Amino acid sequence: MTVRVLLVDDQPLIRAGLRVLIADTTDLEIVGEAGDGAEAVRLVTDAAPDIVVMDIRMPGMDGIEATRRITSSGATAQVLVLTTFDDDEYVYGALRAGASGFLLKDMALDHILSAIRVVAAGEALIAPGITRRLISEFVARPAPSAATRSGVPRGTTAGVTEREREVLTLVGRGLSNTQIAAELSITVATAKAHVARLFTKLDARDRVHLVIIAYEAGLVATSA
């Protein structure tokens, strides 16, 4: 199945580089390009992409506001934020807005393609080491309300079984389903089933939001 990609960046060279690279793939297809957030929001409706590769700093509507509007609109598109590592505040804002992960602008183009495929497959993009740094900082900052974006109050994992809490803790530590299965001596299929139930019970959009919930629930130490 071909993954439909929308490129959003006010730098034409960034879009051109990805466009040329994606043209050589058989599983990715560009269905639109936008130079600002407002155009991106419109194209999500018109072009129905699976993945939006979203810049942060753009004229007019920035990437964070565009991400918030896309993820709250009911669209099925996942948002990958394109930013620089030093702009941590933008990353925190993007996660709060519902982004499924983020890319670094200095990544090799083929790594960006791999990241698009990872998120399209429903996995988290952020590597464990980066997850610890970003999420530790994320939970140290006051949220705009008493609830997380998923609607689950801070620190609440009501309705989650003890085994599911163990799985959530390991997700918060950045472990994959295969690693969780090995850690708990269960099958990979069982690990996937536990993660799927956590998505439903905690109303989490994706694995990144499960990580955030795990940290906010105190299941993972911020100094980890």
Structure tokens at 61: 């509507």
To which residue do tokens 């040329």 refer? 20
Checking if the pLDDT of 130 tops 50, the result is yes
Q: What is the mean pLDDT of residues 166-188?
A: 89
How much is the pLDDT for 86?
A: 58
CB contact at 8 A, 163 and 185: no
How much is the pLDDT for 147?
A: 42
The pLDDT tens digits of the residues spanning 214-224 come to 877 888 765 54
How much is the pLDDT for 81?
A: 87
CB contact at 8 A, 63 and 94: yes
Highest mean pLDDT among 61-65, 96-100, 112-116: 61-65
- Could you tell me the residue ranges of all domains in the chain? 3-125, 134-216
CATH number 2.40.50.100 is the correct assignment for the domain at 3-125: no
**Strand ranges (DSSP E) for the chain?**
3-8, 28-34, 51-55, 78-83, 101-104
Q: What is the mean pLDDT of residues 154-164?
A: 78
Q: How many residues does the chain have?
A: 224
Q: How far apart are CA 70 and CA 112, in angstroms?
A: 21
Nearest to 215 by CA among 180, 175, 171, 176: 171
The percentage of the chain sitting over the pLDDT mark of 90, rounded to a whole number, equals 41
Q: Which secondary structure element, helix H or strand E, spans residue 52, and what is its range?
A: strand 51-55
CATH architecture of 134-216: Orthogonal Bundle (1.10)
Query: Which backbone phi and psi does 202 adopt, to 5 degrees?
Result: -100, 5
What pTM was estimated for this model as a whole? 0.69
Q: What is the mean pLDDT of residues 199-220?
A: 82
Higher pLDDT, 223 or 161: 161
Structure tokens at 100: 């499924």
